[in-house]
């Protein structure tokens, strides 16, 4: 399918929105004046006219642009656009939608509509959709597929989501090793084209074992009587179905790959990985990490129903509340110290906040180091030493600055020294914990992004209060 | 250049590290026993043997793997590997390094070495390196380049880093529109290959205007006498040099592009964008956002000198300190209220923390919505309403839970009600501010990722204390 210019696409989307707005205007008029028969007729004509325009404009868009448009529209206008999407585009549009919206729109479809929609999709795409369908629909759908496609879909569903197997495609541009280039050319001419966006064909032997790669360029420049096996490349990146998909994405980025063969544990070619799927994967994973860092654990659409959104944010609010309650128990313990000098209450947040902030900086760096595999066990002593030095430097410096300010505010030297020391100790402690927590979570096979930040903030809050009030009790009483 | 299997690469890297460790052992022995002449000789032989092995293993790796290895090694071992990299690989390795390490290694090179290294690179790659060189070296380097390459480099340098112009490549697979397919085939056969990883050639007219795309598949299956202009595709994605590079990356992802032509404001073909460069861009930008969210503003290597790292983290620590000092002024204002009931000091962090947490959740969602362009001005009322409802729901729910816990701890109903109300109000306020701050930063042309989180945390801290202590003063006194 051809792709329009970005400017062109944007113009079409703007037009659709104009029509949608006009339409709601017309609808508004119709409702208000439904006893005026003639007026009614004109408006319903105008409405039908708009509908036709919308239908044409929507289906001129690329499926991912339609998906993006649906995400942007408020529910009522979204439903209008949804009804206008051609049946042979709906599948691709569904694949591009966010989880929540996809689920919401899938339930509006009948079983037989779905079967028709799915017939335009590849096996790996059907597998993506199937996860969001109710079980009885899934069964109808699977039994409606041709045998080989059903097997492909079922095999994709068996692979865990984070493996190469779940991200590979089955539509493989494949040739046998023992034929001549002329035969390959003949075959391609009969097919009428080279499988999409690829400069290479994958070579297998008669039993389907992966053998190498045949560049299309070779077909053009080499003698047609050469055998594929003599001119193919064998020194290429190959992935296994159970390799980590995220690692594969990094390899694609690192080695600038476009398409790569996927083999099973017996060396048999079972599919291909494409750079476009892995870009989706990388983008989804970086978005998930970004949201997770802030305590949004599940993919959340901007306009999800508010109760879903509220519930989605509970886990971290709950964890945060639990931790801050522990911190309050620490403060409560020092009631007599605070009664002796109420200024301490005002200064409480300083140590905890600065400690949390610098701890989170360390956490982010360590998580990134882990993701890039730049962190090995034997470098840990050096990393701890470095972060100790950074925290000591910054603790001394910002602790002194704060100490001087406190001296100006309160004219109390002991209080200044308490602030300086507690900032120094808290920052060192939170740096050490900031290195350890992601490493420990990783070791326990947890995602370090989910949780590290809340744990570190909770820990530094509690320890910050403890160190500050403890030192104050020692020095000031 | 061929690419090895991941497993193979990892094995080579492990071998290199083994040799490096053995080598430092040998070096240690040599230093301790330098008066034993014979022993000395053996060790220096062993050392030379290891050096040869390291040399061979290192240069068998892909440049990006060498770069990754350098990032992982402590400085002493890093220098050994650095000295063993072949001159014709060094350029590609430098391009793959993090900013800090690249700068550190670039200064070890002489001007004439650099000129030799750069001769293996493309214009866009040279432009990338040049930004990190001292000015007098840059001039030497530029004047050493062939005229056309110097012009390309200078034009790349003129484009701002976030535009398509700065990311495009000049090595374009181009053909003229008015020749026959047979002539194209002839030309490709003479070149011996199709320009790397591409299934398409770009078509221009005699004046260099962009005209369309010729799929290599077309060459294989169409009549050789057809003219390029009759069989080319014209409905394709085209980018302008001054388009946003990040938008282009999203288009590549959305439309599953591999390579796309770049034209200037006169419609003239000036370069191509490749999916591999844009994957780099997306990855770098998502890493930068991840670090920025935690308050690390500049790219920082895990093993950077500690003083650099300390300095890199100052801006956010300073901002944080400034904001928390304002919060302490707020608390200080309520000294008499706290003296009347010291329990208030213990409960201070609750409202502020929970408010900050839920505010940051909103910020992350809004920033993502902005990045995906799913947020328009006219949807703002709906978004504010939704977040108001989410915050009210969660505020009432978690406020009530906390209120009950406080009632159990302190047996004071008024205190429970103060906590409930202040959590509710703070969460609503921080949700509203959480929607507004990224939007305002965006409107002021600032990156909403940098700063939103600290501003929101500072604001909710201050307002959380104010609301909690204000309510306490009203209700409890």
Lowest mean pLDDT among A268-282, A367-381, B414-428: A367-381
Residue of chain B whose Cα is closest to the Cα of A332 = B346
CA distances from B443 to A229, A365, B360, B446 (A): 59, 29, 19, 7
pLDDT of residue B69: 85
pLDDT of residue A229: 92
pLDDT of residue A357: 85
Structure tokens that stand for B358 in this block: 């839920």
pLDDT of residue A218: 81
pLDDT of A192-247, one tens digit each?
666 655 678 899 999 989 999 988 878 877 888 889 999 998 888 899 999 999 88
Q: Which of A317, A328, A357 sits opposite B347 (nearest CB)?
A: A328
- Residue A273 has phi, psi (to 5 degrees) of -100, 140
Please tell me chain A's helix, strand, coil percentages from 3-state DSSP, rounded to the nearest 5. 70, 5, 20
pLDDT of B309-321, one tens digit each?
888 888 888 888 8
Mean pLDDT of A121-143: 82
pLDDT of residue A417: 94
What kind of fold does domain B313-476 have according to CATH? Tetracycline Repressor; domain 2 (1.10.357)
pLDDT of residue A3: 40
pLDDT of A254-270, one tens digit each?
888 888 999 998 889 99
Q: Which of A74, A293, A321 sits opposite B402 (nearest CB)?
A: A321
Cβ neighbour number for residue B444 with a 10 Å cutoff: 8
Task: List the CATH code of the domain at A174-285.
Answer: 3.10.580.10
CA distance A412 to chain B (A): 15
Alpha-helical segments (H) within A35-110:
37-60, 63-72, 75-84, 87-96, 99-106
Cross-chain residue pair B237–A347, CB shorter than 8 Å: no
User: Quick check: B156 and B166 in contact, CB under 8 A?
Assistant: yes
CA distance B48 to chain A (A): 25
DSSP-assigned letter for residue A222 = S
Mean pLDDT of B79-104: 85
pLDDT of A390-401, one tens digit each?
999 999 999 999
User: Quick check: B351 and B422 in contact, CB under 8 A?
Assistant: yes
Which candidate in A254, A300, A323, A363 is best for mutational testing of the B interface (most B CBs within 10 A)? A254
pLDDT of residue B4: 44
Which candidate in B246, B290, B356, B369 is best for mutational testing of the A interface (most A CBs within 10 A)? B290
Question: Which span out of A17-21, A184-188, A297-301 was modeled with the highest average pLDDT?
Answer: A184-188
Given a cut of 50, whether residue A1 has pLDDT beyond it is no
Q: Which residues in chain B have their CB less than 8 angstroms from residue A258's CB?
A: 197, 258, 275
pLDDT of residue B70: 86
Question: Which span out of A70-84, A191-205, B3-17, B411-425 was modeled with the highest average pLDDT?
Answer: B411-425
Q: Where are the domains of chain B?
A: 6-164, 174-280, 313-476
pLDDT of residue B97: 85
Cross-chain residue pair A345–B345, CB shorter than 8 Å: yes
Share of chain B above pLDDT 70, in %: 91
Share of chain A above pLDDT 70, in %: 91
Q: Which residues in chain A have their CB less than 8 angstroms from residue B339's CB?
A: 339, 342
Given a cut of 60, whether residue B35 has pLDDT beyond it is no
Binning pLDDT at 50, 70 and 90, where does residue B477 land?
Answer: low
Cross-chain residue pair B64–A290, CB shorter than 8 Å: no
Q: Which residues in chain B have their CB less than 8 angstroms from residue A4's CB?
A: 235, 237
A259-263 vs A239-240, strand pairing mode: parallel
Residues 6+ apart with CB under 8 A from A139: none
Structure tokens that stand for B316 in this block: 């956010």
CA distance A290 to chain B (A): 6
Cross-chain residue pair B294–A74, CB shorter than 8 Å: no
Cross-chain residue pair B332–A338, CB shorter than 8 Å: no
Say how far apart CA A98 and CA A288 lie, in whole Å: 12
Mean pLDDT of A122-143: 82
pLDDT of residue A101: 84
pLDDT of residue A25: 53
Binning pLDDT at 50, 70 and 90, where does residue A33 land?
Answer: very low
CA distance B388 to chain A (A): 9
Residue of chain A whose Cα is closest to the Cα of B192 = A221
Say how far apart CA B387 and CA B370 lie, in whole Å: 16
Binning pLDDT at 50, 70 and 90, where does residue A45 land?
Answer: low
CA distance B140 to chain A (A): 31
Say how far apart CA A375 and CA A385 lie, in whole Å: 14
**Tally of helices (H runs) and strands (E runs) in chain A:** 23, 6
Cross-chain residue pair B68–A310, CB shorter than 8 Å: no
Question: Whose CA is closest to A329, among B403, B409, B412, B414?
Answer: B409
Mean pLDDT of A425-450: 88
pLDDT of B190-213, one tens digit each?
876 666 556 788 999 999 899 999
Question: Whose CA is closest to A428, among A472, A467, A377?
Answer: A467
CA distance A37 to chain B (A): 33
CA dihedral B234→B240→B246→B251, nearest 10 degrees, is -10
CA distances from A80 to A9, A12, A32, A207, B379 (A): 19, 16, 20, 51, 17
pLDDT of residue B389: 93
Max CA distance (Å), chain A: 96
Given a cut of 90, whether residue B262 has pLDDT beyond it is yes
CA distance B390 to chain A (A): 5
Given a cut of 50, whether residue A28 has pLDDT beyond it is no
What kind of fold does domain A6-163 have according to CATH? MgtE N-terminal fold (1.25.60)
Q: How many CA atoms lie within 13 A of A213 on its CB side?
A: 22
B174-176 vs B200-204, strand pairing mode: parallel
Task: Compute CA A448 distance to the chain's CA centroid, rounded to the nearest angstrom.
Answer: 15
Q: Which residues in chain A have their CB less than 8 angstroms from residue B463's CB?
A: none
Mean pLDDT of A39-65: 77
User: Quick check: B213 and B200 in contact, CB under 8 A?
Assistant: yes
Cross-chain residue pair B390–A198, CB shorter than 8 Å: no
Say how far apart CA B339 and CA A355 lie, in whole Å: 27
Q: Which residues in chain B have their CB less than 8 angstroms from residue A194's CB?
A: 199, 215-217, 220
pLDDT of B394-448, one tens digit each?
999 999 999 999 999 889 999 999 999 999 999 999 999 999 999 998 888 877 7
Say how far apart CA A281 and CA A332 lie, in whole Å: 47
User: Quick check: B405 and B462 in contact, CB under 8 A?
Assistant: no
Cross-chain residue pair B253–A276, CB shorter than 8 Å: yes
Cross-chain residue pair B358–A313, CB shorter than 8 Å: yes
Domain with residues B6-164, CATH architecture:
Alpha Horseshoe (1.25)
Lowest mean pLDDT among A276-285, A435-444, A449-458: A449-458
Q: Which residues in chain B have their CB less than 8 angstroms from residue A188's CB?
A: 217, 220-221
Given a cut of 80, whether residue A24 has pLDDT beyond it is no
Binning pLDDT at 50, 70 and 90, where does residue B42 land?
Answer: low
Q: How many CB pairs under 8 A join A and B?
A: 374
Instruction: Decide which of 1.20.272.10, 3.40.640.10, 3.40.930.10, 3.10.580.10 is the CATH code for B174-280.
Output: 3.10.580.10
Mean pLDDT of A325-344: 86
Lowest mean pLDDT among B4-18, B177-191, B356-370: B4-18
User: Quick check: A236 and A252 in contact, CB under 8 A?
Assistant: no
Say how far apart CA B418 and CA B410 lie, in whole Å: 13
Given a cut of 80, whether residue A49 has pLDDT beyond it is no
**What is the ipTM score, two decimals?**
0.73
Mean pLDDT of B114-120: 82
CA distance A196 to chain B (A): 9
B259-263 vs B239-240, strand pairing mode: parallel
- Residue B169 has phi, psi (to 5 degrees) of -115, 155
This prediction has a pTM of: 0.75
Q: Which residues in chain A have their CB less than 8 angstroms from residue B363's CB?
A: 294
- Residue A446 has phi, psi (to 5 degrees) of -100, 155
Residues 6+ apart with CB under 8 A from B303: A379, A382, A383, A386, B74, B75
pLDDT of residue B195: 60
Q: Which residues in chain A have their CB less than 8 angstroms from residue B368's CB?
A: 287, 290-291
Cross-chain residue pair B293–A294, CB shorter than 8 Å: yes
pLDDT of A393-426, one tens digit each?
999 999 999 999 999 988 999 999 999 999 999 9
Q: Which of A256, A313, A369 sits opposite B361 (nearest CB)?
A: A313
Cross-chain residue pair A194–B215, CB shorter than 8 Å: yes
């Amino acid at each position: 399918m051809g792709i329009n210019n970005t400017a062109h696409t944007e113009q079409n989307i703007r037009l659709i929105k104009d029509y949608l707005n006009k339409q709601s205007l017309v609808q508004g008029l119709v409702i208000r004046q439904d006893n005026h028969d003639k007026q009614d007729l004109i408006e319903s004509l105008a409405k039908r006219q708009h509908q036709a325009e919308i239908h044409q404009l929507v289906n001129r868009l690329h499926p991912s642009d339609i998906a993006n448009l649906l995400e942007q529209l408020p529910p009522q206008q979204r439903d209008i656009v949804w009804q206008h999407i051609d049946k042979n585009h709906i599948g691709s549009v569904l694949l591009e939608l966010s989880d929540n919206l996809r689920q919401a729109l899938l339930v509006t479809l009948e079983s037989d509509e779905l079967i028709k929609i799915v017939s335009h999709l590849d096996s790996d795409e059907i597998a993506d959709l199937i996860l969001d369908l109710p079980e009885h629909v899934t069964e109808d759908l699977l039994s409606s597929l041709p045998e080989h496609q059903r097997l492909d879909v079922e095999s994709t569903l068996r692979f865990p989501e984070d493996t190469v197997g779940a991200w590979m495609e089955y539509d493989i541009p494949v040739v046998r090793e023992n034929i001549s280039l002329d035969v390959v050319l003949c075959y391609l001419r009969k097919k009428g084209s080279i499988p999409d966006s690829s400069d290479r064909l994958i070579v297998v032997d008669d039993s389907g074992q992966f053998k190498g790669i045949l560049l299309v360029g070779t077909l053009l420049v080499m003698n047609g009587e050469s055998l594929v096996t003599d001119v193919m490349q064998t020194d290429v990146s190959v992935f296994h179905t159970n390799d980590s998909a995220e690692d594969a994405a990094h390899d694609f980025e690192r080695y600038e790959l476009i398409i790569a063969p996927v083999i099973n544990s017996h060396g048999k070619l079972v599919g291909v990985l494409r750079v476009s799927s892995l870009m989706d994967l990388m983008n989804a994973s970086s978005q998930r990490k970004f949201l997770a860092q802030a305590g949004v654990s599940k993919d959340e659409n901007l306009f999800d129903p508010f109760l879903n959104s509220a519930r989605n944010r509970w886990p971290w609010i709950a964890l945060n509340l639990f931790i801050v309650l522990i911190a309050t128990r620490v403060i409560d313990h020092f009631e007599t110290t605070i009664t002796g000098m109420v200024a301490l209450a005002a200064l409480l947040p300083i140590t905890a906040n600065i400690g949390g902030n610098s701890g989170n900086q360390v956490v982010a760096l360590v998580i990134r180091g882990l993701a890039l595999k730049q962190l090995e066990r034997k470098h840990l002593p050096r990393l701890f030493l470095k972060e100790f030095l950074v925290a000591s430097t910054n603790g001394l410096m910002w602790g002194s600055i704060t100490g001087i300010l406190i001296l100006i505010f309160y004219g109390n030297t002991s209080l200044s020294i308490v602030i300086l020391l507690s900032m120094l100790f808290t920052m060192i402690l939170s740096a050490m914990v900031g290195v350890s927590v992601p490493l420990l979570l990783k070791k326990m096979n947890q995602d370090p992004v989910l949780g590290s930040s809340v744990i570190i903030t909770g820990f530094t809050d509690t320890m910050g209060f403890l160190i500050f009030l403890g030192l104050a009790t020692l020095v000031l009483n």
